[in-house]
Amino acid sequence: MNTAIEKANMQQHTISLMVSNKPGVLIRISMVFSRRGYNLESLVVSPAHNPEFSRMTLVATGHKKILEQIIKQLNKLVDVIHANDHTAKNVIEKEMALIKVNCPVEVRTEVLQILEHFKCSTLDITETTLLLQVTGSSDKLNSLYKMLDGYGILESVRSGKLIMARGTETT
């Protein structure tokens, strides 16, 4: 197959899972993706409202048809309550990042103006660095990273996507 056509068929997918809160569940889920040659770009796991369950949000890039097969396989696993692809659905998507940026006094005003525009919170400030927190869409965080790159990002960590369906629809 033509590689340009193959790349055009690739799409980023956001998948939510409700799973039993038991040891070994995460490895079984990651193996389903691994066997199909999918790399998980982002993975967030946290306890659900009911402590017997955990909620997982996965982000992976690949072909829609293969991903449909993966979701069918996931839904067959004993510890998976449900797995859903939320790509192009009406959901709220957010990420959080902590970023430590080089910020000597000479550029501090410029950097603080950028942070204000992106609605960042300053968590720590020293003579030469600034540690900030930001939440928002992946695009917002990517844009902020590009803006701060010229000042020197010293360290950063991102949460990965968190999603929740709007209204009464279940995620």
**Domains in the chain with CATH codes:** 3-88 (3.30.70.260), 92-164 (3.30.70.1150)
What are the distances in angstroms from CA 18 to CA 1, 10, 40, 133, 154? 36, 25, 17, 28, 36
CA distances (Å), 140 to each of 83, 96, 117, 133, in order?
Answer: 27, 10, 11, 13
pLDDT at 83: 93
Q: What is the pTM of this model?
A: 0.79
Query: In percent, how much of the chain has pLDDT > 90?
Result: 67
Residue 5 predicted with pLDDT over 70: no
21 or 9, which is more confident: 21
Does residue 54 contact residue 45 with C-beta atoms inside 8 Å?
Answer: yes
C-alpha distance across the termini of the chain, in Å: 35
Residue 107 has pLDDT above 80, yes or no: yes
